[in-house]
Amino acid sequence: MLFSGGIFDFEALETRFAELDSMRADPDLWNNQDKAKEVTREHASLEAKILGHRALQEALSDMGVYVELAGEGDKDAGGELLALLDKAEAMADDAELRRMLSGEYDDSNAIVTIHPGAGGTESQDFGDMLFRMYLRWAERRGFKVDVIEYTPGDGAGLKSAIFTIEGEYAYGYTRSEAGIHRLVRISPFDSAKRRHTSFCAVHVAPEIDDTIVVDIDTDDLRIDTYRSSGAGGQHVNKTDSAVRLTHLPTGMVVACQNERSQHKNKATAMKILRSKLYELERLKQREKLDSIGPSKMDNAFGSQIRNYVLHPYRLVKDTRTGQEVGNADAVLDGDIDPFIRAFLMSESA
């Protein structure tokens, strides 16, 4: 990403965008699907930046007009000006947030895995709450979600879930969620109405493309097939099309059941396993696996990155940044941007 004084170098972006336009107009480009995919992705990313810049410039220009109208006594101009100010501030905040997404894989899609900790139905229900939270957040940002595997819990919630989030800087935003999440509430499953504490591990990896080679020895894999589970109807297969891969050296497990074809499920599971193993090795090389990767963290007290407290008070607090939000319901409904922003700002500090 190019900047000038902390803001996009707009002329450089437009020049590069024009170059990409020319490349996309060349029929020969589409003979190389990997190159075409790379060019198309960069083109879409730059287009979003340019449109965002123009929208901000337009808002600032309109604000000047309303300032003049207010000075001339227009009674409605003040309200319009305040609305535009809020809009411009939100766009500027978003641009600043994007500026922090300069990691090697921040512009990649994200692969998210949710694993409830010990606690049975209580923890499995919390896992489903997190699953919904991330789906709502992705929906608000215009990201595409593809559920790869969803194993229902015993009675409620989920036993595990794997899904991809596709969109501009999906991994850059979502990687802040990797770690242990803790919920404190009065259990809806406890007839005595006692307070319970539940834990869930969230793992986030960048979706790597086929240009990055990750060798997986077939002797290191255990491949199991089984019948897809679900709510019933057309989504439940009558054959053993679901696939579960276990990487024996690391104990990493990946399952996929969203396709009717066993071959397609296996290919998707292998893609996710490759991404996870690549991320695991990358974290090892950075000597941060113990502090970042939930695979090395206890799914229990003292290791959580965020607390969701619904009783005796309502508060969501990130233990890494100290960021707090009192409206816990809004957070669980997908409003997690304050935590993502605080995390990214702490990284750049």
Residue 215 lies in a domain: yes
The domain boundary residue, chosen from 67, 99, 131: 99
**Residues 321 and 207 occupy one common structural domain:** yes
Mean pLDDT (whole number) for 227-233: 57
Can you tell me the distance from the alpha carbon of 106 to that of 167, in angstroms, rounded to the nearest whole number? 11
Residue 116 lies in a domain: yes
Q: What percent of the chain has pLDDT over 70?
A: 87
Q: Which of 114-128, 157-171, 174-188, 252-266 has the lowest mean pLDDT?
A: 252-266
Residue 105 lies in a domain: no
Domain CATH code at residue 41: 1.20.58.410
Residue 127: count other Cβ atoms within 10 Å of its Cβ. Answer: 28
- Which among 175, 176, 130 is positioned nearest to 153, based on CA atoms? 130
Domain CATH code at residue 182: 3.30.70.1660
pLDDT tens per residue, range 48-76: 778 878 888 888 888 888 888 888 888 88
Residue 29 lies in a domain: yes
Confidence of residue 239 (pLDDT cuts 50, 70, 90): low
Residue 237 lies in a domain: yes
Confidence of residue 87 (pLDDT cuts 50, 70, 90): confident
pLDDT at residue 115, as a whole number: 94
Torsion of CA 334, 337, 343, 344, to 10 degrees: 130
**Residues 64 and 185 occupy one common structural domain:** no
**Residues 192 and 329 occupy one common structural domain:** yes
**Residues 207 and 293 occupy one common structural domain:** yes
pLDDT at residue 235, as a whole number: 44
Please state the separation of Cα 346 from the chain's center in Å. 18
The domain boundary residue, chosen from 60, 75, 99: 99
Residue 122 lies in a domain: yes
pLDDT at residue 258, as a whole number: 81
CB contact burial 11-38 (16+ within 10 A = b; e otherwise): eebeebbeebeebeeeeebeeeeeebee
Which one is predicted more confidently, 8 or 203? 203
**Residues 92 and 124 occupy one common structural domain:** no
Residue 104 lies in a domain: no
Nearest 5°: the CA angle 179, 183, 94 is 55
Can you give the residue range of the structural domain that contains 7? 3-99
Q: How many domains does the chain have?
A: 2
**Residues 54 and 153 occupy one common structural domain:** no
pLDDT at residue 291, as a whole number: 44
Residues 6+ apart with CB under 8 A from 4: none
**Omega before residue 338 within 30° of 0, cis:** no
**Residues 36 and 129 occupy one common structural domain:** no
**Residues 68 and 128 occupy one common structural domain:** no
The domain boundary residue, chosen from 76, 99, 122: 99
Residue 146 lies in a domain: yes
